[in-house]
């Protein structure tokens, strides 16, 4: 494994009872790479991205993140979670804490930063995502787009090496999607390693280095946005793209 | 183009008492009938009760036995210590009002109630003096609190935290010798409202953390902890409090080595605590189950460990959700303490029974029980009101 690889996934399988959700996934991610994962619902794409920080357990195969293998060892899991940020479809902000408290909690408790340092970093991040004036409000007082940007800032505060996005714009009203995508594009351009499950093809075209098409628990096809959009090889990819790009 | 002047504001109904009554009380013939019946029943019940309170009832029994009802056999020359901690509590209450409810005029009026009672009711000189001091302490606390709210937040919380040890220490006493400062007053002399209050406060303070631990234990992934929690909760919830109190009073000594004794009041406190914890555990578990899975996932994804996730993310939200149920349980604990009368402790109900057993007060059950009911009601409603304020402040249902 070369130094340049940050994630290495080999023959990963997962079952939910009898349902075979992931059927032998193999893939690698290089540092600073931006990967978009797409595919029909139920294809295992969210499950896959969630195995990378072990929100889902894989039952066979090997996942190595930043040189640490994901296993039952709790310390390894915590180590990997410190290095990977995750943004969820439903934001999952902590509703009883202010925006600022949401962001500084993990750096203070996990990274053991001082409150002052954590708040300085939090403020910088809120400026980066464009909502410094909302720092002392509660999540419930913010719009969906603002909440998702707070969620991104919260993940970034841990200074992760990898960012995982699990359908970050699917729960948003159309007019708010752009403000979140803008933040993600800026993040991609800044050199962050990103894996994003999303159907925002504009985002994929703009910044993705590689796209993975998932169907029925397998990676059916992968390639650059160029190849995927202009010259898809597999019939399933063509069919799916024609369905989502029709409008 | 529409002329804005022609657009009329919506018709507002002219409100008057007669109109309101017509709409709400006499809307139809059966509304009118129900209204009349209701008025008659209310008049009959309330009128009868007031008539009894003002003319028939012999309140002398309360006045003569006031000391017994409030503090039991607690030596009167040591009662100053109780007033001191009561004053401390009122001071903290005033302080808290000043910090968190500055706008509330009602809250300030509450602080004046002791001094009002002192002069409206037939108290002796000593209680009058102390009741006035209580109001004074409350107002001083309020003034300080509203002057420097931000600075004092921490210290008032610390004050509440140390208040239970202070109360117990002052009530129990410090020195063995009769002549020393604050000589020890044995618990067999504690009684009346004092004992009820201490049983309640200790029961709540200790059963709450125990209940939370049991609730967490019931959801634990470690089978032994989970099974123990389930067994404990289900066994305790399956038996009446009275049997637990009897067990604590009668059976505990059988298990202890000879020569060991545990104070009877402490036994009752332990019994109440263990009983209440099982119920609290189920209430808290209800709150825990209501927290969406996404909250756990977000906390884990950030690298928080299990304990941090519980402490910072899950419990604060779960407890806030169940405040009304928790306070309901606290009120139940308060009223359930009256069962200790059956195992021979002289709490408010126990002391009422002994008062009524004196030959000169025979047949005055109504007066005594109405009076202690009033005390129970005032304090229960106080707790209920506090919890509503707390819910409002924490924004339950909004955030």
Q: Where are the beta strands (DSSP E) in B310-358?
A: none
Mutate to test the interface with A, among B222, B290, B300, B303 (most CBs of A within 10 A): B303
Burial class (CB in 10 A: 0-12, 13-18, 19+), B300: buried
| CB within 8 Å: B302 and A158 | yes
Would you state the pLDDT for residue A1? Answer: 45
Query: Taking the mean position of all CA atoms in its chain, how far away is CA B18?
Result: 41
A106 at interface of B, judged by CB pairs closer than 8 A: yes
> Model-level pTM?
0.84
Contact status, residue A81 vs residue B300, Cβ threshold 8 Å: yes
CA nearest to A136, candidates A88, A103, A172, A91: A103
Strands A162-166 and A84-87, bridge-based pairing: parallel
Tell me the C-alpha distance between B69 and B72, whole Å: 6
Q: How far apart are CA B257 and CA B398, in angstroms?
A: 55
Closest-approach residue (CA) in chain A for B296: A92
Residue with structure tokens 């310390």? Answer: A75
Q: How many CA atoms lie within 13 A of B371 on its CB side?
A: 25
The per-residue pLDDT string of chain B (399 residues; one tens digit each, 9 = 90 and over) reads: 455 567 777 766 666 788 888 888 888 889 899 999 999 999 999 999 999 988 888 888 888 898 899 999 898 888 889 999 999 999 999 998 888 877 777 778 888 888 888 888 888 888 889 999 999 999 999 999 888 888 888 888 999 999 999 999 999 988 777 777 778 888 888 999 999 999 999 999 999 999 999 999 999 989 999 999 999 999 999 999 999 999 888 877 777 777 777 888 999 999 999 999 999 999 999 999 999 999 999 999 999 999 999 999 999 999 999 999 999 999 999 999 999 998 889 999 999 999 999 998 888 889 999 999 999 999 999 999 888 888 887 765 455
Counted across chains A and B, CB pairs separated by less than 8 A come out at 66
B390 touches chain A (CB under 8 A): no
* Burial degree of B183 (CB within 10 A; 0-12, 13-18, 19+): middle
Q: Do A110 and B308 touch (CB under 8 A)?
A: yes
Does residue A192 surpass a pLDDT of 80?
Answer: yes
What's the pLDDT band for A163 if we cut at 50, 70, 90? very high
**Residue of chain B whose Cα is closest to the Cα of A111:** B303
pLDDT 10s digits, A102-114 = 999 999 999 999 9
Q: What is the pLDDT of residues A197-236, one digit of tens each?
A: 999 999 999 999 999 999 999 999 999 999 999 999 999 9
Q: What is the ipTM of this complex?
A: 0.93
Give the integer Cα–Cα distance in Å for B68 and B191. Answer: 7
Interface touch B304/A109, C-beta < 8 Å: yes
| Residue B330: closest CA among B385, B265, B393, B383 | B383
Instruction: Output the six-digit token pair for B24.
Output: 């709400």
A57 touching B (Cβ < 8 Å): no
Which among B294, B304, B317 has CB closest to A92?
Answer: B294
Nearest by CB: A86 against B295, B301, B316: B301
Q: Tell me the C-alpha distance between A88 and B296, whole Å.
A: 12
Residues B82 and B346: their CA atoms lie apart, in Å, by 17
A164: β partners: A86, A195
CA separation for the pair B167, B172 (Å, rounded)? 8
> Reduced to 3 states, what is the DSSP secondary structure of residue B366?
helix
B312 to chain A, any CB pair closer than 8 A? The answer is yes
Residues of chain A neighbouring B297 (CB-CB closer than 8 A): 55, 86, 88, 92
- Which residues of chain B neighbour A139 with C-beta distances below 8 Å? 399
Contacts of A105 (CB under 8 A, 6+ apart): A94, A97, B302, B304, B312
Residue A247 has pLDDT above 70, yes or no: no
- Assess contact for A134 and A142: CB atoms under 8 A: yes
Residue B181: predicted pLDDT: 77
pLDDT in tens, B278-311: 999 999 999 999 999 999 999 999 999 999 999 9
Reported residue count of chain B is 399
**Bridge-based pairing state of the strands A210-215 and A34-38:** parallel
Find chain B residues with C-beta within 8 A of A109's C-beta.
Answer: 304, 308, 312
| Mean pLDDT of chain A, nearest integer | 93
Question: Which of B304, B316, B320 has its CB closest to that of A106?
Answer: B304
DSSP string, B284-298: HHHHHHTS-HHHHHH
| The token pair that represents B153 in the structure block | 């937040």
For residue B395, the distance in angstroms to the closest alpha carbon of chain A comes to 9
Contact across the interface for A85 and B301, Cβ inside 8 Å: yes
Whether A47 and chain B come into contact, CB under 8 Å, resolves to: no
How far is A86 from B306, CA to CA, in rounded Å? 18
pLDDT of residue B263: 85
- Integer Cα distance of A115 and A128 in angstroms: 20
| Minimal Cβ distance to A78: which of B295, B305, B320 | B305
């Amino acid at each position: 494994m070369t130094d340049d690889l940050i994630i290495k996934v080999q023959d990963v399988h997962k079952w939910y009872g009898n349902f075979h959700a992931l059927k032998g996934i193999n893939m690698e991610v290089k540092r600073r790479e931006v990967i978009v994962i797409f595919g029909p619902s139920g294809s295992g794409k969210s499950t896959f991205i969630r195995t990378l920080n072990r929100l889902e357990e894989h039952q066979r195969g090997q996942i190595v993140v930043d040189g640490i293998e994901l296993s039952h060892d709790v310390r390894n899991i915590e180590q990997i979670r410190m290095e990977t940020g995750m943004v969820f479809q439903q934001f999952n902000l902590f509703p009883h804490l202010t925006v600022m408290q949401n962001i500084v909690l993990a750096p203070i408790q996990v990274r053991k930063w001082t409150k002052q340092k954590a708040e300085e970093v939090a403020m910088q991040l809120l400026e980066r995502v464009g909502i410094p004036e909302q720092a002392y409000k509660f999540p419930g007082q913010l719009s969906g787009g603002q909440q998702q940007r707070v969620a991104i800032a919260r993940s970034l505060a841990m200074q992760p090496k990898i960012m995982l996005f699990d359908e970050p714009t699917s729960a948003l009203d159309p007019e708010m999607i752009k403000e979140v995508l803008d933040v993600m594009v800026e993040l991609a351009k800044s050199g962050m390693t990103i894996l994003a499950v999303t159907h925002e093809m504009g985002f994929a075209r703009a910044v993705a280095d590689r796209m993975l098409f998932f169907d029925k628990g397998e990676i059916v096809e992968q390639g650059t946005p160029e190849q995927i959009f202009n010259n898809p090889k597999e019939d399933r990819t063509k069919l799916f793209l024609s369905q989502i790009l029709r409008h | 183009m529409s002329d804005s002047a022609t657009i009329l504001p919506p018709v507002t109904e002219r409100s008057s008492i007669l109109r309101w009554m017509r709409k709400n009380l006499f809307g139809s013939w059966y509304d009118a009938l129900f209204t009349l019946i209701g008025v008659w029943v209310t008049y009959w019940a309330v009128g009868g009760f007031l008539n009894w309170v003002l003319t028939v009832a012999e309140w002398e029994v309360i006045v003569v036995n006031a000391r017994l009802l409030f503090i039991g056999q607690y030596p009167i020359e040591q009662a100053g210590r109780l007033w001191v901690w009561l004053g401390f509590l009122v001071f903290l209450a005033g302080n808290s009002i000043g910090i968190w409810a500055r706008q509330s005029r009602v809250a300030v009026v509450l602080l004046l109630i002791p001094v009002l009672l002192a002069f409206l009711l037939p108290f002796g000189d000593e209680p009058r003096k102390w009741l006035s001091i209580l109001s004074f302490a409350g107002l001083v606390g309020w003034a300080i609190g509203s002057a420097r709210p931000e600075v004092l937040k921490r210290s008032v919380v610390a004050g509440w935290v140390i208040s239970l040890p202070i109360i117990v220490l002052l009530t129990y006493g410090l020195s063995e010798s009769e002549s020393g400062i604050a000589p020890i007053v044995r618990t067999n002399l504690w009684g009346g409202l004092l004992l009820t209050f201490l049983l309640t406060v200790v029961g709540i303070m200790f059963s709450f953390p125990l209940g939370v631990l049991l609730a967490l234990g019931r959801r634990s992934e470690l089978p032994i902890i989970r099974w123990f929690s389930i067994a404990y909760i289900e066994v305790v919830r399956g038996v009446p409090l009275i049997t637990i109190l009897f067990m604590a009073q009668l059976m505990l000594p059988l298990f202890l080595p000879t020569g060991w004794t545990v104070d009877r009041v402490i036994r009752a406190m332990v019994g109440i605590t263990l009983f209440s914890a099982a119920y609290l555990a189920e209430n808290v578990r209800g709150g825990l189950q209501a927290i969406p899975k996404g909250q756990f996932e977000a906390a884990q994804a950030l690298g928080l460990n299990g304990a941090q996730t519980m402490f910072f993310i899950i419990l604060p939200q779960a407890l806030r959700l169940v405040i009304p149920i928790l306070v309901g349980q606290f009120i139940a604990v308060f009223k359930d303490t009256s069962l200790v009368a059956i195992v021979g402790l002289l709490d408010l109900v126990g002391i009422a029974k002994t008062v009524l057993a004196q030959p000169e007060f025979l047949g005055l059950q109504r007066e005594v029980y109405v009076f202690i009911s009033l005390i129970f009601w005032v304090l229960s409603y106080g707790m209920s009101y506090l919890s509503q304020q707390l819910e409002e402040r924490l924004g339950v249902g909004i955030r």
